[in-house]
Structure 1
Amino acid sequence: MERIMITGALGQIGTELVLKCREIYGEENVLATDIREPEADSPIKDGPFALLDVTDITRMEEIVSEFKPDALMHMAALLSATAEKNPLLAWNINMGGLVNALEVSREYNLQFFTPSSIGAFGPTTPKDKTPALTIQRPTSMYGVNKVSGELLCEYYNSKFGVDTRSVRFPGLISYVKEPGGGTTDYAVEIYFDALRKGEYTSFIDKGTYMDMMFMDDAIEAIIKLMEADGDKIKHRCAYNLSGMSFEPEEIAESIRKHIPDFVLKYDVDPVRQGIADSWPDRIDVSCSTDEWGFSPQYDLDAMTVAMLEGIKAKDAATQH
């Protein structure tokens, strides 16, 4: 990759992906796009930006023709809980946007990345050490979108030779961009509330294990996969990724090492709990490790330190 276009650039992953790619490839070589303008204080404004509704393929083609990228990272999507509230909108954005991005990649010969998710798994998927190739029968619209997307990317690779690459992300945890409608959002919100309120009410029940990863590891994984030798990639769409697996009580205990009086309460959301219960408890990432060297650096306690320090710095900057 030398010149990159990123859709959904103002989202949870997109924001940090844009900044990291600009750091590596040069500010002028990374075009951020989104359906809305960045806020006045957003660092995204420091480099190239274009407005884009990903369901508008004509506009997408215009931007690609003008910017001339060699890689397209398609991050625009509605997340799991939001998608369940409006499934038709989720299908139109998640699948309509994806097929447009794939068509443009085919037409302009672009290397292509889009994330899948552990949401692509379902209640009949093996719960422990879930392999990369296994039963995928999700029961949420978001999951249906992700399975369909994986198959569509495989099709564009085998039929048209598009260099498609993808990963199944677990819950992603970051202090840079607060969450926006995901089932794993509790694992981000808990850190903000621990510092700001001293307590947190979880919408996910105790004992519910889900795979998670610190955002820094996720961004590094995207770039590492995109730079990997294509001849060594076998599970192209999609690779399992995870940095850790925990349940709410375990993350609370990690926080109490720094905030001893932190209180965790529960008010379970049946919709998000149902989605979480349909996902694996712990997935197998050996294909990612073996084929392109995936190696996360953060465990739960290291992530807790990074999150608490990052939120403190963010709050201090806001107050000034």
Structure 2
Amino acid sequence: MERILITGALGQIGTELTVRLREIYGEENVLATDINAPAEGPLKGKPFKILDVRRYDEMVSIADEFKPDTIMHMAALLSATCESKPLIAWDINMGGLVNALEVARKRKAKFFTPSSIGAFGPSTPKKDAPQTTIQRPTTMYGVNKVAGELLCDYYFDKFGVDTRGLRFPGLISHIKEPGGGTTDYAVEIYFEAVKAGKYTSCIGEGTYMDMMYMDDAIDAVIQLMETDAENLVDRNAFNVSAMSIEPEMIAREIRKHIPGFELDYDVDPVRQGIAESWPDSIDTSEAERQWGFNPMFDLEKMTAEMINAIKDKV
């Protein structure tokens, strides 16, 4: 990768991905875009273009000017938001994806877009869901992600576009708070633990979901994109995760740092239903075998990092 165009750069993943890529490849070689300009944070005052990914001509114009050899398409609505706005979700998630793929095809650019554990459904094996398995999601977000995986495979097989992707679990970060995801509680719980010493979870006790610290997620994107194409049997998209956890497990780790932390529950039926439709855990062995995936953060290490970083902010 030499010149990288990023869509959705102000999102939960996009912000930290843009910062890291600029550290590695140079600020002038990484162009961030999103539907709004950054009002604050690490991308404010840096190279940036306004882009609604549904507007193909605008995307073409930006790409023609910047001349990327790699496109990272991060723009999307998240799981819970997709359920409340399914038609808008299809328009943004699928319309934006096909536009970005077309730009990559015409420019002969490498292409990355994230998938999700949301691409799985109730008929997927609940334990150690494999790389290739039944994918019959029951949410608009999941339908978008499965369709996106297939569309990326199509562009690779039909047009030779070097498409690659990861099925992300819940991503946990102290830099950019999430918005509209089923796994958001696993970020919110740390912020509220530091600020208030207590948290009310919208996800029920005993509900296991895969999670990963954001640093590991960003490293995985870069490692996958820098891997020689000949090493890849799969492309769209690799299972990645670092831990399968439920709320009480996080609470126990937090209490090692904040002994009086209290956790209670007010379960949101929409998000709970989405969570229960996903596997409890996924098998990451193909990512490990094909390109060396190896996350560095477990729950204990991640919790210490999160609490220390949030304490420095508040």
Q: What TM-score results when the alignment is normalised by the length of structure 2? A: 0.99
Q: Name the aligned partner's letter for residue 27 of structure 1.
A: E
Q: Distance in 2 between matches of 1:175 and 1:314?
A: 9
Q: What TM-score results when the alignment is normalised by the length of structure 1? A: 0.97
Q: Secondary structure at the match of 1:112?
A: strand
Q: Distance in 2 between matches of 1:47 and 1:110?
A: 23
Q: Distance in 2 between matches of 1:203 and 1:234?
A: 38
1:78 matched to which residue of 2?
77
Question: For 1:129-174, what per-residue CA distance to the aligned partner results, in whole angstroms no more than 9, with x for missing partners?
Answer: 1101000000000000000000000000000000000000000000
Q: Distance in 1 between matches of 2:197 and 2:312?
A: 17
Q: Distance in 2 between matches of 1:108 and 1:138?
A: 33
Q: Distance in 1 between matches of 2:157 and 2:112?
A: 15
Q: Distance in 2 between matches of 1:310 and 1:5?
A: 29
Question: For 1:83-125, what per-residue CA distance to the aligned partner results, in whole angstroms no more than 9, with x for missing partners?
Answer: 0001000000000000000000001111000000000000000
Asked if residue 102 in structure 1 is aligned to residue 85 in structure 2, the reply is no
Q: Secondary structure at the match of 1:283?
A: coil
Aligned-residue Cα RMSD (Å) equals 0.6
Q: Secondary structure at the match of 1:45?
A: coil
Asked if residue 169 in structure 1 is aligned to residue 163 in structure 2, the reply is no
2:20 matched to which residue of 1?
20
The aligned runs of 1:1-320 (5 Å cut-off) are 1-39=1-39, 41-315=40-314
Q: Distance in 2 between matches of 1:54 and 1:314?
A: 33
**Matched residue pairs, number?**
314
Q: Distance in 2 between matches of 1:104 and 1:69?
A: 10
Q: Distance in 2 between matches of 1:92 and 1:293?
A: 35
Q: Distance in 1 between matches of 2:110 and 2:142?
A: 24
Dislocated runs of 4+, deviation >2 Å: none
Q: Secondary structure at the match of 1:21?
A: helix
Displacement, 1:46? 4.1
Q: For structure 1, which segment, 45-54 or 17-26, has the greater mean C-alpha deviation from structure 2 after superposition?
A: 45-54
Q: Name the aligned partner's letter for residue 141 of structure 1.
A: M
Task: Please say if residues 17 and 219 of structure 1, whose CA atoms lie closer than 8 Å, have aligned partners that are also in contact.
Answer: yes
Displacement, 1:235? 1.1
Q: Distance in 1 between matches of 2:278 and 2:180?
A: 17
Displacement, 1:42? 2.0
The answer for unaligned runs of 5 or more in structure 2 is none
> Percent of aligned positions with the same letter in both sequences?
68
Q: Name the aligned partner's letter for residue 63 of structure 2.
A: V
